[in-house]
Amino acid sequence: MKIIKKILRLLIGLILFQGCQHTAPTLNLEKRILDQSYEDKPDWIKKTDVTWTEGSFIYYKNTFTVRGDQRVNACYELARLGLYESLISEIGSEIKAENNLASEGTLESESDLINKSVSENLSGYLKGVKVKSKAFERYVVKDNERVDCHLLTEISKSDYEKMKNRIGQEILSVSAEVTQALREKQKRFFSSEKKEQ
């Protein structure tokens, strides 16, 4: 008898749950296009890759989204800055891997300091990166207007290697400075600890 009651409760619970599931309101997430800079979406926007190589060039794409009341030119600028940040980060990771900086036990804080220092000193290093194409799409989703700005840049493989070498020199010099600063800090810490004893 107890088993039958448990089964009945379970069935009633499932029926009620199913009923609640179908009556839940659905959000209207349909995307309605208001304006776009192209008739047919370019192939480079459709690509799932963020970076790829064709011939002697390396291509990078980035998409940045802003509110509908913001200017498209500012959106393109933010997309460009995000793309440069990704490019610098990728180069930094390659350099660290090549020079075994990642495996030499560099601290996470040291790595952050290196990245910050390199980013702050790279204004002249981004030579050879050219905007190949750009496009935008203004749309509404659930009464919220948005603008997607798509940017495609290219850099020759030779310019990429030159940039990588310059950034590599910066990373290695900053890494040496940070390591020295950390050693000095450790010396002061242990010296003060001995004085206290």
Q: Domains along the chain?
A: 29-185 (3.10.129)
Determine the Cα–Cα distance for residues 113 and 185; give it in Å rounded to an integer. Answer: 15
Amino acid at 75: C
Q: Which residues contact 65 (CB under 8 A, 6 or more apart)?
A: 75, 146, 147, 148, 149
Determine the Cα–Cα distance for residues 172 and 100; give it in Å rounded to an integer. Answer: 11
Q: What is the DSSP string of 107-139?
A: -HHHHHHHHHHHHHT-TTT-TT-EEEEEEEEEE
Among the listed residues 81, 76, 44, 42, the one whose alpha carbon sits nearest the alpha carbon of residue 59: 44
What's the pLDDT tens digit per position in 145-196?
999 999 999 999 998 888 888 777 776 676 666 666 667 776 776 776 566 6
What's the pLDDT tens digit per position in 98-147?
766 544 555 555 556 555 655 555 555 667 889 999 999 999 988 899 99
